[in-house]
Chains A and B, each alone.
Chain A
Amino acid sequence: MSAVPAAILLAALAFAALIADSLWFVGAIVLVLLAVCLRAPRARRRLYLVGVAISSGMVFVLWPWLQNTGSHPLFPGPIVPVLGELTVTREELSLAALYALRFAAVGLASAAYALLLDHDRLLGAASWARRSALGVALATRLVPTLERDAAGLVEALRGRGLEVRGVRARARLLSPLLAGSLERSQSLAEAMEARGFGRPGRTRVPNKAWSRADRLAAAAAPLLVLVALWL
């Protein structure tokens, strides 16, 4: 599936999860998103999945203690200053589950985006935000280069016998790192202009035509949102 319809579908799934009130619906969305995330390579996805699990788990566990609704107490608790009554009711649990699942849905949608989508394609499609898309592409490309520069700075200093230890020393590297990167940005801008950037009348690499799956995804997106609104 090409990038834009996939992104639209993911966004719709996340948004639908956020606005629907039915536990089953949101749960189903979470399962779908989980399945999508599992298509990513194991090593990379682990970090995201663990992060989402921890965060939404925390929401589920802590929510009921902080909420004071419902009339079917499952676990009577003491009254504590600031937080109020620490009673856990059934309603609270189901609400907690809902919010936890919502959090999970949004987190998984973002994870799916980060793990599986091709940013360049996505950015290329944003013809209305050309400069921003270019900025994002450039900044993303620059981060590994800058990390190498930082490592190179540390190594050069070690080569003279100076160790870089502690936050203070690292912070003092920020200035030369910035100076070096500003020089890089000059060269970059020069290369961009030499390649014609800034000329009026620019065209775009044509995007792949949308396949049937793409069209289905694009159509499903608003439908999902409508269903969520109704539920």
Chain B
Amino acid sequence: MALATAERVTFSYPDQAQPALRDVSLTVEEGEFVALLGASGSGKSTLLRALSGLVPHFHGGRFAGRVVVGGRETRSARPSDLAGTVATVFQEPEDQVVLTNVLAEVGFGLENLGIKPSEIVPRALAALAAVDAEHLAGRALPELSGGELQRVCLASALALEPRLLLLDEPSSQLDRDDAEALFEHAREHGCAVVVAEQRPELPLAYADRVVFLRDGRIAEELPPAWTEPPAAPPPRDAAGAEVVRVERVSFAYPKGPPVLVEESLSLRRGEVVALVGPNGAGKTTLGKLAAGLLVPRAGRVVRFGRAAYLPQDPGRYLVAETVLEEVALAAGEARARRTLDELDLARFSDRHPRDLSSGERERLAVATVLAVEPDLLVLDEPTRGVDPERKRELAALLRRDADARATLVVTHDRAFATAAADRMVALGSESVLV
């Protein structure tokens, strides 16, 4: 008998007209590694939650069909009942942890399950060891990096010794190395794994089976955009006037080690430049310096015109009550309407920004900085948690109006850098890439 089955599930969230899942069926066998790929809003996270009972018990809504996990049907079993059989790791590590001490945190689930007190600490330590994190056992959670935090979350899930491990975009906030380690540990454990993702590279490498979702339905095949790397754009002659010149800047955060030492950068109007490099190399810092958000300790930044900066995870930082107001805040209503039209967001003009899906919010965030019509546009990791089709659209969008400004994209996504940029700068040295 299969470990988990979903039979003809149709589900709508409360207050939503369109169903998130339409007639979806899925079978997961013991020990299998299944990847659920799809864009934001495709239903992959919803399907994942259906496997743990969170849909519909936690979210409410209209549920048709049947989901059976480990012999129990989710109609009668609540998520907390299924917790020992199923364990989930969610997208945002900071929003999963409850306590301050790592060991206590891993033990939290065990306490809830009613495991014998004498077994709690040994099992927690074993789970931490399984993800190469025993050295973190005595640490405080606020001190950990994103990658370490997500590993602790994985340990918390594995400590429950589940038969089915569900991962909801677990690596979207992580860089490549941390993400690979996460997938590796998940597979090592041996239980069945279902991972929902928008970025196909790692899941395709690890999965036994791939399922693609679009608009709540399981589709036949993976679209080519998901399997092929994007093509490099045709080279352009982009030699406008200089917009920003960063001259030998050095920077250190207060009470921290130096992040940048004598870096230089120059951007001309009309070009799109990708700033690449490993985590911690100072890409974000250099981007902020160029945009004028930070002041360098040494060296100087010369800028001609206005700069706009889009931070990482911008969907979190929306402040207005309507979409139109959000864009108009910095740009005025006329330009706001124009930009919303360009980005196909006009139909949301009167909606509350936080009612939009995550993909739509990302587009809205891009709209807020584009509408300002800056001379220098700096984007910080705009492809975190973005599916391949959207990445191509974003690259095309950036290149479309590129002549009006200079664009700097900070990213560690080489494929996106290739698709969007005229040249790449690796931190520490200038290198030109065609």
A and B touch in the complex (CB under 8 A): yes
Report B323 CB to chain A, min CB distance, Å: 14
Q: How large is the interface on B (under 10, 10 to 19, 20 to 34, 35 or more residues)?
A: 35 or more
In the assembled complex, the Cα of A191 lies from the Cα of B319 at a distance in Å of: 26
Which of B95, B319, B378 is in CB contact (< 8 Å) with A157?
B319
Scan B296-340; emit 1 where CB is below 8 A from any A CB, else 0.
000000000010111100101111000000000111000000000
Q: Assess whether A195 is interfacial by the CB under 8 Å rule.
A: yes
Query: By the criterion CB–CB under 8 Å, are A159 and B369 in contact?
Result: yes
Choose among B92, B94, B368 the residue with the greatest number of A CB atoms under 10 Å from its CB: B94
Residue numbers in B under 8 Å from A145 (CB-CB): 94
Whether a CB of chain B sits under 8 angstroms from the CB of A152 is yes
Query: Which residue from A149, A176, A180, A190 sits with its C-beta under 8 Å from B90?
Result: A190
How far, in whole Å, are A187 and B96 apart by their CA atoms in the complex? 7
Q: Which of B97, B117, B157, B306 contacts A161 (CB 8 A)?
A: B306
Q: Are B79 and A193 in contact (CB under 8 A)?
A: yes
Would B98 and A153 count as touching, CB distance under 8 A? no
Q: How many of chain A's residues touch chain B, expressed as a range?
A: 35 or more
Chain B residues whose C-beta falls within 8 Å of the C-beta of A141 in the assembled complex: 97-100, 141-142
Please encode chain A, from 27 to 57, with 1 for each CB lying within 8 Å of some chain B CB and 0 for all others: 0000000000000000000000000000000
Q: B362-399 vs A: 1/0 string, CB under 8 Å? A: 00000011001010001000000000000000000000
Query: Do the beta carbons of A119 and B354 come within 8 Å of each other?
Result: no
Contact between chains at B116 and A187 (CB < 8 Å): no
0/1 string, A178-208, CB within 8 A of B gives 1: 0110011001111111111111011111100
Write the chain A residue with the least CB distance to B354: A179
Interface residue A134 (Cβ < 8 Å from any Cβ of B): yes
Q: Does A193 lie within 8 Å of B117, measured CB to CB? A: no
Residue in contact with A144 in the complex, picked from B142, B156, B291, B368, CB distance below 8 Å: B142
Q: Chain A residues near B104 (CB, 8 Å)?
A: 120, 124, 205
A183: contacting residue among B291, B354, B368, CB under 8 A: B354
CA distance A119 to B107 in the complex (A): 16
| Chain A residue at smallest Cβ distance from B321 | A175
Instruction: Say whether A203 contacts B111, CB under 8 Å.
Output: yes
Asked whether any CB of chain B lies closer than 8 Å to the CB of A211, the reply is no
**How would residues 68 to 102 of chain B score, 1 for a CB under 8 Å from any chain A CB and 0 otherwise?**
00000000001111011011101010111111110
A160-B330, A160-B369, A197-B80 provided; 10 other pairs, C-beta below 8 A?
A: A152-B317, A159-B311, A160-B372, A179-B354, A190-B54, A190-B90, A195-B160, A196-B109, A198-B78, A203-B114
Interface residue ranges, A against B (CB under 8 Å): 118-120, 124, 134, 137-138, 140-141, 144-145, 149, 152-153, 155-162, 172-173, 175-176, 179-180, 183-184, 187-199, 201-206
B interface residues (Cβ-Cβ under 8 A, vs A):
52, 54, 58, 78-81, 83-84, 86-88, 90, 92, 94-101, 104, 107-118, 120-121, 141-142, 156-157, 160, 291, 293, 306, 308-311, 314, 316-319, 329-331, 354, 368-369, 372, 374, 378
- 23 A-B pairs within 8 Å (CB atoms) are namely A118-B101, A124-B104, A152-B316, A155-B317, A159-B311, A160-B372, A175-B319, A180-B317, A184-B95, A187-B95, A189-B58, A190-B54, A191-B88, A194-B83, A196-B83, A196-B113, A197-B112, A198-B80, A199-B81, A199-B114, A203-B110, A203-B115, A206-B118
